């Protein structure tokens, strides 16, 4: 796992891999899984590769330039959640 001192998986994804890359790979694996399920009906359906709404919102926010407005040391995911809270609808 990720030790707390290292920031956790979202810190790693945001700062080292990039949230757009994580989203792209999750979408790829979700599509591959759906294709395999369609070909083989004996497999159990899984949805753990489906990207979360929050991840998609973070990628949209990053593309819209929100990262420049977020203070240093504040994760983009926290900024998006705070923005959603202020707007009246936090992501699930």
pLDDT of res. 39: 93
58 Cβ neighbours under 8 A, 6+ residues apart: 14, 19, 76, 77, 80
71-82 pLDDT, tens digit per residue, is: 988 899 999 999
Name the residue among 87, 27, 16 with its Cα closest to residue 52.
27
The pTM score is: 0.81
2-34 pLDDT, tens digit per residue, is: 777 777 888 889 989 999 999 999 999 999 999
Alpha-carbon 54 to chain mean position: 6
DSSP 8-state code for residue 51:
P
Name the residue among 81, 88, 52, 49 with its Cα closest to residue 66.
81
Q: Is the pLDDT of residue 90 over 70?
A: no
């Amino acid at each position: 796992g990720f030790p707390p001192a290292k920031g956790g998986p979202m810190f790693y994804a945001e700062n080292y891999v990039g949230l757009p890359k994580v989203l792209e790979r999750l979408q790829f694996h979700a599509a591959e899984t759906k294709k395999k399920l369609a070909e083989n009906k004996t497999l159990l359906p899984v949805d753990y590769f489906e990207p979360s709404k929050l991840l998609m919102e973070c990628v949209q926010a990053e593309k819209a330039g929100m990262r420049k407005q977020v203070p240093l040391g504040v994760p983009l995911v926290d900024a998006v959640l705070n923005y959603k809270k202020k707007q009246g609808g936090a992501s699930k």
